[in-house]
Amino acid sequence: MAITGAAAVSISVDDQGEKATQAAPDTAPAIAPTAANGKLDAQLAGVTRGADDFADRASRTQQRIDLKQRQLQEQRRKAAEAAHRKAEAARKEALRPKFALPVAQRGVGELFGAAGSMWSSRHTGLDFPVPMNTPVMAVTDGTVEAKWNPFYGNMVIVTAPDGTETWYCHLASAEVRAGHVKAGEVIAYAGSSGNSSGPHLHLEVHPGGGDAIDPLAWLRSHGLDPT
């Protein structure tokens, strides 16, 4: 008798009369993929996409970190370079001479205190006999004022940080008429303007803007000798 849902069997009797049971060949069809398998595949695909997305986001995050690191390194490099330039500028400034002779040519003319018909009393400066348009340099650092005076002609006054005024007189023209200059910079050109008998530079030194003192002694006190 057949039983629903069970595999068919055959029964035989051996030589001793015992019954033996033998399973019939399995002829059931292969089981088709179930809905659960499809769901698992979908989940696996989702996990793969998630992993790819995570890897992409991790890569972008690392790129941002690398960029910030490069930017920080660049900022540090620029800061180090700026500090080096500042230190180098400070070193050069410390070594820069703070006093200079007013002309490159050696030799002086009329000395401070000399008497003569050219002056109402005494000579109040030191003369440098140089050709017309000889470059005239600032003796000190300071602020510049260019002006005209009937006696001194074209003149430039440089006021040093300590208040000392140096006057450059009888000029042909002024190179710098205002602003700040450093010792040794060209500020004017020698001439023979005003009460002058020929091309030369007349230099006066007025400490604190007061009375004139001997420019030669003052120059020598700062390690300069134009003679």
In a domain, 82, yes or no: yes
Residue of 102, 204, 216, 211 whose CA lies nearest to 152 = 204
The whole-number pLDDT of residue 189 equals: 98
Rounded-to-integer distance, Cα 86 and Cα 178, Å: 27
Residue of 152, 201, 158, 197 whose CA lies nearest to 176 = 158
- Could you give the C-alpha distances from 216 to 50, 134, 204, in angstroms and in order? 89, 20, 10
Contact between 157 and 118 (Cβ < 8 Å) = no
The answer on 145 and 79 residing in a single domain is no
**Residue 214, both tokens:** 């001997």
The whole-number pLDDT of residue 1 equals: 39
Please write the tens of the pLDDT for every residue from 59-88.
889 899 999 999 999 999 999 999 999 999
The answer on 215 and 137 residing in a single domain is yes
In a domain, 181, yes or no: yes
In a domain, 41, yes or no: no
The answer on 203 and 135 residing in a single domain is yes
The answer on 131 and 58 residing in a single domain is no
Residue of 85, 185, 201 whose CA lies nearest to 144 = 185
The answer on 130 and 175 residing in a single domain is yes
Q: Does residue 34 register a pLDDT over 90?
A: no
Residue of 141, 117, 112 whose CA lies nearest to 205 = 112
Q: Choose from 18-22, 135-139, 195-199 the range with maximum mean pLDDT.
A: 135-139
Contact between 180 and 140 (Cβ < 8 Å) = no
Confidence class of residue 141 from pLDDT cuts 50, 70 and 90? very high
**What is the three-class DSSP state of 52?**
helix
The whole-number pLDDT of residue 44 equals: 76
The count of structural domains within the chain is 2
Residue 67: which domain range? 51-95
pTM assigned to the model: 0.67
